[in-house]
Structure 1
Amino acid sequence: MSSIIHILQTQGGEIWSALGQHISISLISLFIAAIIAIPLAIVLMTHKRIAEVILQITSILQTIPSLALLGILIPMVGIGTVPAIIALVVYAVMPIFQNTYSGLTTIDPDLDEAAEAFGLSRAKKLVKFQIPLAMPMIISGIRIAMVMIIGTATLAALIGAGGLGTYILLGIETNNNALLLIGAILSAVLTLIFSALIKAISKLSLRKMGILFATLIVLFGGFAGYRSIVKPPVNVTIAGKMGSEPEILINMYKELIEEDHPNMKVSLKPNFGGTTFLYKALQSGSIDIYPEFTGTVLQALVKTNQKVSHNPEKTYQVARKLMKKDANMEYLAPMKYQNGYDLAVTQSFAKKYNLKTISDLKKVEHRLHAGFDPDFYQQNDGFPGVKKAYGLDIASAKTMEPSIRYKAIANGKVNLVDGYTTDPEVKEYNLVVLKDDKNHFPPYQGAPLMTEKFAMAHPEVKKTLDKLAGKISESDMQKMNYLVTVKHEKSSKVARDYLEDKGLLK
């Protein structure tokens, strides 16, 4: 509780901003879904076959995983609120359409006959008794959609749309339950508040509902117009992968750029997702820069038949040339430290089976139950490559987010995890890092990745970011990760403190 109070006191402004973003995304998505679904149900209430087809289509759309849908939308519409709203509308249309259609088609037929006897037109029948009688079902569909939207909107943080999901993701990645609880509790409170508001609105007459919705449209339109006018232009958008380290790095980029170029505005998108997600966003122009590692470039982003060198400088030069040749990307000079993959087990497990190297895992392979980061699980330099290089056939492997896998091994849910050489959790949970005795893992040095187009347009940004080339030792990064992940300090503060200490900021 003390941690929650401290965060509310020190980050109150940011929390209010995230809450506002969450409400805005949710209400806009609900309004658009209702505008699509309710009129469609009214039109199709006398066309049963077409209505059933629409119901099937909307049901199929709901089965698409939200992350997959966001990944599909990014190359088409970029990042931010637009793809988030599109995804939420897709999920919300089905319950509203289904309930509206059911409410309109289950009205007593005798009422229809009576209306026709009185000579009422179809429009008058809708207004006089069909919509009022169907209203409880329509409101129920809207409430279901709202609950779904508020819950799913937390994923908007993954594509730079903000919202309360930012605090949930940060809580998970930095092992900070206070942040996680703030995001989760506020999401639940929002659901309860909006559910009660929708219930209250359902008691209004159709005329008053129309006036209310018209007022909301004017207010939202005016607010959106105001923000578009007063919002300062963003010159550079920098994103980072999940976790504390990428967030520290992108905050360093921001500090350096904004100090060297005061007229430039930098927007950060932390905890943006995995490698493929970020790379697609960079290709599409949705982001301008993100920190990538040399080993990952050669294993996941370019095609090469060359064997990856274990010399860091050679690895970087090959990665830089291939990114330029194959993808028109500019890969700046890397930092000093290496953040390579490793495999770790608990002290007790290592002692029981005398495990010191990755090769030693062969003798206990059928006892191994692993928890792996999604990138490590699928990339050639990760689990697939380890299996091939060491001939391992382990009992089971599950994918989970970075901080969760460390909790899993600490709680005995798994007995093998992947990690990075700068992870503070190795020390925190007293794990044993197994030696890569066959030198499978390539060098991993981090450096800013950007398109050639951006680099040519902003040579001054390249010059600024080159200040980090050859800087930051492995111990420096371990210490910074520890401060964020274990001590729960803000990434922005840790990044700025380092830059000031090393004389990189005035």
Structure 2
Amino acid sequence: MTLRRIIAMLATLVVATTALAGCGLRSASGAVLDARPGSIEHYQSLDGVKITVIAKDFTEQLILGNMVSIVLAAAGADVTNLTNTPGSFGVRQAMLTGKADVSPEYTGTGWINYLGNEQPVKGAREQWQAVNEADRANHLTWLPPAPMNNTYAFAIRESEAERLGVTKLSDLKRLAKQELSFCVESEFASRNDGFVPMLATYDLTRADLGPVTNLDTGVIYTATANGDCNFGEVFTTDGRIPALGLRVLEDDRQFFPLYNLTEVIRTELLDAHPELGEIFGQLNPRITNDVMLALNAKVDSDGDDPALVARDWLIDEGLLS
């Protein structure tokens, strides 16, 4: 069993118990910001329909949970906003038990962390189809995903990327050993779907590399920006990437699992209100990595409120008014 699976199992026991016991699920405020319909219309069929939205407690999920809540409320639903619930598995248990109805999620998280598969499925559509089919047994439906893919990646300072002429991971093979310095998380460095297998995919070994430094996740971004290493392990939609002037290298051999964003909906609710598929069919195609990078940066770098960031973007896009 991999370290990642062990951590996931422990998180299931600890976080789910914490999130669901005692006083129940936690929300930042429970508020849903007002907005009027735009290209996403008001549906009379949703008037008074009670829908509970749940999302996790990190920046991207705070934005997305509020975005889903605002959209559904503008479309007519009576929305309870449980954005800012601690932990992935607290959210998952709420969906499985019917305490929540809709959640912004990632296809890779569903397939690997929730459903316990060791190997990801290649291809965004194929990964979505696999997790959607498998989760039918749990009475959950995964809607067609957004282009946004919040997965692992390696980034480099823009100035160094230009100097070295690198845009993709396969470019690393031609670099001199002293240029191949890396900053990675210790867990990523050791697991069987992490650093060493990634190197092998790109025809490299640890012996080909310069210094490899293990750091905490948050420190890696600043260390890479400061030149402590040339290549830092990052997540592709983290708002610190544009703020720190980093360039994400293309995973051109598709090593990393796909974590495309979509909404998970209780199948019973979707069957009763198929218009929910229409609503999110307008929203999801617009959410790209570049969009999410910019929105995350507004919160993490500029200090803006996630709910306001979500509503402003929906209005700017004409989805709401």
The TM-score, its normalising length taken from structure 1, stands at: 0.47
Q: CA deviation at 1:353?
A: 7.0
> 2:83 is matched with which residue?
269
Following the alignment from structure 1 to structure 2, what is the Cα–Cα distance between the partners of residues 499 and 314? 28
Query: Quick one: structure 1 residues 288 and 396, their matched pair in 2 at CA, closer, same or farther if it must change by over 3 Å?
Result: farther
> 2:136 aligned with 1:346, yes or no?
no
* 1:53-81, Cα deviation, whole Å (9 max, x unpaired): xxxxxxxxxxxxxxx99853554464376
Pick closer, same or farther for the CA change 1:505–1:297 going to 2, 3 Å.
same
Q: Secondary structure at the match of 2:254?
A: coil
For residues 457 and 70 of structure 1, do their structure 2 counterparts lie closer, same or farther at Cα, with a shift above 3 Å needed?
farther
Alpha-carbon displacement from aligned partner over 1:331-361 (angstroms, at most 9, x marks no partner):
0122244444320133566578776543527
- Greater Cα shift, 486-495 or 411-420: 411-420
Alpha-carbon distance between aligned partners in 2 of 1:350 and 1:501, rounded to the nearest angstrom: 33
- CA positional deviation for 1:260: 1.8
Alignment partner of 1:160 is 2:101: no
Map of 2:141 onto structure 1: 330
Cα distance, 1:502–1:431 mapped onto 2, change above 3 Å:
closer
Q: CA deviation at 1:447?
A: 0.2
Q: What secondary structure sits across from 1:344 in the alignment?
A: strand
Instruction: Tell me how far 1:428 sits from its aligned partner.
Output: 2.3
User: Quick check: 1:318 aligned with 2:123?
Assistant: no
Cα offset, 1:283, TM superposition: 3.1
Residue of structure 2 equivalent to 1:72: 13
SS of aligned partner of 2:20: coil
1:386 aligns with 2:252: no
Change (3 A) 1:379 1:329: farther
- Segments of 5+ residues of structure 2 without an aligned counterpart are 1-8, 30-49
Trace 1:174-323 onto structure 2 (pairs within 5 A): 235-240=51-56, 242-243=58-59, 245-262=60-77, 264-270=78-84, 272-273=86-87, 275-276=88-89, 278-302=91-115, 308-310=121-123, 312-323=124-135
**Secondary structure of the residue that 2:233 maps to in structure 1?**
strand
- Which residue of structure 1 aligns with residue 309 of structure 2? 494
- The 3-state SS of whatever aligns with 1:370 is strand
The answer to whether the 8 Å contact 1:300/1:380 transfers is: no
Deviation at 1:237, TM superposition (A): 3.5
How much does 1:278 deviate? 3.8
1:470 aligned counterpart, secondary structure: helix
Q: Is contact 2:121–2:257 with CA below 8 Å preserved after alignment?
A: yes
Does the 8 Å contact 2:66/2:83 carry over to 1? no
**Structure 1 residues 344 and 248, CA, compared in 2 at 3 Å: closer, same or farther?**
same
Change beyond 3 A, Cα 1:434–1:73: closer
- The yes-or-no answer on 1:481 pairing with 2:289 is no
The match for 2:214 among 383, 394, 397 is: 397
What secondary structure, in the 3-state scheme, does the structure 2 residue paired with 1:265 have? strand
Distance (whole Å) between structure 2 residues aligned to residue 418 and residue 81 of structure 1:
37
Against the structure 1 CA distance between its residues 349 and 463, is the aligned structure 2 distance closer, same or farther, given a 3 Å change threshold?
closer
TM-superposed CA distance for 1:493, in Å, is 1.6
- Do the aligned residues in 2 keep the contact of 1:358 with 1:435 (CA within 8 Å)? yes
CA distance in 2, matches of 1:430, 1:69: 36
**How many Å separate the matches in 1 of 2:287 and 2:177?**
37
Whole-angstrom distance in 2 between the partners of 1:305 and 1:337: 22
Deviations 1:136-168 (A, max 9, x none): xxxxxxxxxxxxxxxxxxxxxxx72659xxxxx
Deviations 1:187-212 (A, max 9, x none): xxxxxxxxxxxxxxxxxxxxxxxxxx
Q: Which letter does structure 1 place at the counterpart of 2:128? A: Y
Q: CA deviation at 1:448?
A: 0.7
Aligned equivalents of 1:341 and 1:454: distance in 2? 33
Contact 2:11–2:89 (CA under 8 A) maintained in structure 1: no
Pairwise CA distance, 1:431: 2.2
Q: Secondary structure at the match of 1:82?
A: coil
Q: Which structure is larger by alpha-carbon Rg, 1 or 2?
A: 1
- Cα RMSD (Å): 4.2
TM-score with structure 2 setting the length: 0.68
Q: Which residue of 2 aligns with 1:440?
A: 255
The percentage of aligned residue pairs carrying the same residue is 24
What SS class does the counterpart of residue 23 from structure 2 fall into?
helix
2:23 aligned to which of 71, 75, 82 = 82
Taking the aligned partners of 2:268 and 2:278, their CA distance within structure 1 comes to 15
Paired residues of 2:55 and 2:64 also in contact (CA < 8 A): no
Contact 1:373 1:405 in 2 (8 A): no
Alignment CA distance shift 1:460-1:439 (3 Å) = closer
Per-residue deviation, residues 21-47 of structure 1 (Å, max 9, x unmatched): xxxxxxxxxxxxxxxxxxxxxxxxxxx
Matches of 1:240 and 1:371 in 2, distance apart?
Answer: 24
Q: Contact 2:185–2:233 at 8 Å: present in 1 too?
A: yes
Name whichever structure is richer in strand by fraction.
2
